[in-house]
Each structure stands twice: as structure tokens, then as C-alpha cells.
Amino acid sequence: LSKTIENMHEKDITISEKAKKELEKMNNLTEDIILKTIQILKERNLQYVLDVEALKEVSEIKRERYKSEHIQRLKEGTCNVESGISFIEILTVFEKITYHCVSTTIAISNLVNNEKFTNKQAFSSRIYANHSKLLREMLNSYTLKYED
């Protein structure tokens, strides 16, 4: 992330106000995921696993929407290729952070429950099977919290 930001400053690359707001939203969302993951690590409280899963879903939805809107800005000429590359690189960093947090959540959950899930898909399937109503409520809540 710092390399991308540094490169933007060195080359005087700017992004649109809309893109800045989108990145700020993704930053806040990613920060929330990190903080919930830290709570899981510190407290071994698996209640936050559902939070991380719901936040991950919101993050994925937002990221895809922001990429689509970015492509539209490129087509309209309100964004150039250099700033667009930087925008996508930053979104990718947020995505990687999110998936590292999810992996950490899975590891702690496995440790606490003495279980072994070999992949994220199996873990997510179990969460959705056992907590679908609560997860939907959390997803709705986080969607509203991070609404544009």
C-alpha cells in the first residue's frame, strides 16, 4: 500500500473525489475487519467470527461495485489509466488484508473448537449452515453501516 501511495506522490497521480470516497469506505471497512480479527485473537471469542464473515461479504460486494464504477469512469474519461491502476492496486491490498484476516479467523476457530477446516469454502459453508439468520442480520447491518 505504501509503495502505491508513494508512487502516486512521485508521479503526481491523482484520483477523483468519488474514487477517494470509495477508498476511504474500503479503508474503514478493512479496519473494522482487522479490529474484529484482533478481538478474536485476544479473547478467543468466536462471536466475532460472524462479524468478520459478514464484513468480508460486504467488502467483496463493495470491491466489485467499485471496480465496475471505476471502469465506467475510465470509459467516460473522468479517470486515466495511471490513476486507475493505482486505484485497483489499493483495492487489491484491501482484499489481501481481508483474506489474511479471514484465514486468521479460521485458524483461531479451529484451535478453539478443536476442528480442522482445510479451506475457506468449508468454513464459510459451516457458518452459513449454522448461523444463517444471524449472519443475514449482520450482513444487513454492515451493509447499512457502509452504505455509500
Q: What percent of the chain has pLDDT over 70?
A: 99
Find out whether 87 and 129 touch, Cβ atoms under 8 Å.
no
Average pLDDT of the chain to the nearest whole number: 90
Question: In this structure, what C-alpha cell is assigned to residue 22?
Answer: 470509495
Mean pLDDT, residues 24-49 taken together: 94
User: What's the maximum distance between 2 C-alpha atoms anywhere in the chain?
Assistant: 54
Each residue's pLDDT tens digit, 48-59: 999 999 999 999
Q: What is the pLDDT of residues 97-140, one digit of tens each?
A: 999 999 999 989 888 888 776 677 888 888 888 888 999 999 99
Dist. CA 39–CA 16, nearest whole Å? 35
When pLDDT is averaged across residues 2-23 and rounded to a whole number, the result is: 84
Q: What is the DSSP string of the chain?
A: -HHHHHHHHHTT----HHHHHHHHHHHHHHHHHHHHHHHHHHH--THHHHHHHHHHHHHHHHHHHHHHHHHHHHHHTSS-HHHHHHHHHHHHHHHHHHHHHHHHHHHHHHHHHT----SHHHHHHHHHHHHHHHHHHHHHHHHHHT--
- Its pTM stands at 0.88
Nine cell digits for residue 2: 505504501
Q: Which residues lie closer than 8 Å to 1 by C-beta, 6 or more apart?
A: 90, 93
Q: Are 36 and 138 in contact (CB under 8 A)?
A: no
